[in-house]
Amino acid sequence: MTDDKLDLIQGTLDVMVLQTLAAMGPLHGYGVARRIEQISGNRILLNQGTIYASLVRLQHRGWIRAQWGTSENNRKAKFYEITRRGLKQLASETEYWQRLTDVVGRVLSTAGKEVK
């Protein structure tokens, strides 16, 4: 593993997939993977296979739905689209993430000071 690439924390991939679908509209699996890689500036160590596991999970929970369609270069591909429940879920998860990073960040910075 290269040092400058980030390992994904369990569960974060699902939120990123939801966010990507919410922002970009219907996308196929490859598109989702590329989009996440691009936005993260290739800083995330993404095994593209895991995207599909995440898509299945989200689909099972009813947050996204899938449909076969035709891609921009006329290929058959499966397109995923966020659902209304998915949007709700995304909102609550985003809020949760922001609170969590906020708290974790604060704790880490204070703890760091005291050690010094």
Q: Which residues bind another protein (CB under 8 A)?
A: 28-31, 33-34, 46-50, 52-54, 56-57, 59-62, 71, 73, 75-78
Which residue number, 20 or 54, has a Cβ lying nearer to another protein? 54
Q: How far is the CB of 20 from another protein (least distance, A)?
A: 16
DSSP state of 8: P
Which residue number, 11 or 105, has a Cβ lying nearer to another protein? 11
Q: How far is the CB of 111 from another protein (least distance, A)?
A: 35
Tell me the HSE value of 55 on the side-chain side, using a 13 A CA sphere.
Answer: 22
**43 phi-psi bin (left φ>0, alpha ψ -120 to 50, beta other):** alpha
Which residue number, 57 or 97, has a Cβ lying nearer to another protein? 57
Q: Tell me the two tokens of residue 46.
A: 């993404």
Given a contact cutoff of 8 angstroms between Cβ atoms, the answer to whether 21 and 81 are in contact is yes
Given a contact cutoff of 8 angstroms between Cβ atoms, the answer to whether 79 and 26 are in contact is yes
Q: How far is the CB of 19 from another protein (least distance, A)?
A: 19
